Amino acid sequence: MKKSVYLALCVSLAVASCSKKTPTPTPTPTPTPTPAAKVMFVDACLDAPTLAVKINDTTMSAFTNLVFLANSGYKNVTPGSSVKTSFVSANTGLPMGNMAPGYNFVDGSYYSVFLYGTVNSASMAQVSDDLTAPSSGKSKVRLVNFCNDTLSYDFYVGGDKIDSAVIFGSATHFTEVTAGDKNIIIQAPVDVGHQVTISPQHFAAGKIYTVMVTGSRAYTGADSLTATVITHN
């Protein structure tokens, strides 16, 4: 009799032990990333006031107080196939130049949007930015030509011709160059005296750069013929 009671007690304790096992925790779901394109806005417009950016008629707080030759760095923009984009005066909200008809911003892609020309005749340009890493020991560089003399330029880095006849309002593709200190020469072949140089510019391995030409040889000060280097990463 005592043996039967003892066995029954053991079974009861075993059942109770099983019933007290810690339940398997419910896994926390991984949040779905918010779709976003990465966009940099650049002020290359002569005589423009301090700028802000509107996207689909909404002033973007991340893109304010842009001054000549400055850029916003990359910020998130909701992607879409026809995103209405404009530069406006940060003080008055009045648009600068014609509003873009609608840019295509793809989720996960990178872009630069420039305002160039003059305050009385401003234009916009969107350029896709290929930020895939360069080869080991290399940098990547391109030229954008917003010089108001509207000449085409040959583009040299460290004595190597990167591109020829880069027309006003356009950008070259990124090209790999060996990292190091190199002279940059932007030369109008039709006018030997029409040249802008940076001597030297340090190109760091793994980095990606845009060389932006603005201004005019007819102007002085900040509006003179100038090359500005933008670092993308």
Over range 164-180, report the average pLDDT: 96
Q: What's the pLDDT at 190? A: 85
| Predicted local confidence at residue 9, as pLDDT | 42
Question: Which strand (E) or helix (H) includes residue 229?
Answer: strand 226-231
Residue 111 identity? Y
Q: How far apart are CA 172 and CA 158, in angstroms?
A: 17
Query: DSSP H helical segments within 26-66, as ranges?
Result: none
Counting residues of the chain whose pLDDT is more than 70, the rounded percentage is 89
Residue carrying structure tokens 């107080």: 65
Give pLDDT tens digits for 54-83: 999 899 888 889 999 999 999 999 999 999
| Arithmetic mean of pLDDT, 110-118 | 96
Q: What does the pLDDT average to over 34-50?
A: 94
Those residues whose C-beta lies under 8 Å from the C-beta of residue 43, and which sit 6 or more positions away, are 51, 66, 67, 68, 69, 70, 71, 87, 115
pLDDT surpasses 60 at 46: yes
Given a cut of 50, whether residue 216 has pLDDT beyond it is yes
In terms of pLDDT, which residue wins out, 78 or 9? 78
34-129 in CATH: which number? 2.60.40
SS3 (DSSP) at 17: helix
Residues 6+ apart with CB under 8 A from 31: none
pLDDT in the model for residue 7: 44
What global pTM score does this model have? 0.84
Using one digit for the tens of pLDDT, what is the confidence trace for 133-145? 999 999 999 999 9
pLDDT in tens, 11-36: 454 445 545 556 677 777 777 788 99
Length of the chain: 233
**Which residues 6+ apart lie within 8 Å of 200 measured at CB?**
181, 182, 183
pLDDT at 217: 87
Task: State CA 195 to chain mean position distance.
Answer: 27
Q: Is the pLDDT of residue 180 over 80?
A: yes
The answer for 192, left when phi > 0, alpha when psi is -120 to 50, beta otherwise, is alpha
Q: Which two tokens stand for residue 218?
A: 């007819």
Average per-residue pLDDT for the chain: 88
- Return the DSSP state at 15: H
- Confidence category of residue 221, pLDDT binned at 50, 70, 90: confident
Topology agreement, domain 34-129 and domain 130-233: yes
Please tell me the predicted confidence (pLDDT) of residue 226: 92
pLDDT of 173 higher than 80: yes
Cα separation of 134 and 22, whole Å? 51
Q: What is the CATH number of domain 130-233?
A: 2.60.40
In the chain, what are the helix, strand and coil shares in percent, each to the nearest 5? Answer: 10, 45, 45
Annotated domain spans of the chain = 34-129, 130-233
Chain-centroid distance, C-alpha 128:
8
At 84-95, the pLDDT tens digits run: 999 999 998 888
Higher pLDDT, 138 or 4: 138
pLDDT in the model for residue 100: 67
